[in-house]
Amino acid sequence: MMKKINNEHLVHFRSEFNRINQEAGKKQFLTYYLIAAHPGCTFKDMLKLRDFTRKELKIEPEQVQIFTPLPSTYSALMYYTEMNPFTGEKIFVEKDLINKQKQKDLIVPDSSRKRT
């Protein structure tokens, strides 16, 4: 629902990024911006993301943002209407704060206890 490219493109980009850095003798790192509870995102989707980050990216993220609807975005439109604006189909939107946190906790265990 975020209109992002598929995971294979990210894996390929990361591979090229690492290769170029190694050839240049640099130690640079990628930072991934991960979001939980985006409209259309289910607990099952977060399990897939967790598996992808661990198995393919070989990372255990320390930060995941919980989706916040921003004005004038398709994501906000999806959040409030619970519909895909391009197809008109009804979509799942997690609005319960506890369940949003549970989605986040799948990627960053115990993140609710780390907040200050």
Q: Is 58 exposed, middle or buried (0-12, 13-18, 19+ CB in 10 A)?
A: exposed
> 84-111: string of b/e by CB count within 10 Å (b at 16+)?
beeeeeebebbeeeeebebbbbbbbeeb
Model pLDDT, residue 4: 86
pLDDT at 115 over 60: no
| pTM score of the predicted model | 0.85
**Could you report the per-residue pLDDT of 28-81, keeping only the tens digit for each?**
999 999 999 999 999 999 999 999 999 999 999 999 999 999 999 999 999 999
Q: Which of helix, strand or coil describes residue 96? A: coil
Residue range 73-98: mean pLDDT, rounded: 97
> Range with the lowest mean pLDDT among 3-7, 12-16, 37-41?
3-7
Mean pLDDT of the chain: 93
Per-residue pLDDT band for 116 (boundaries 50, 70, 90) equals very low
Model pLDDT, residue 109: 77
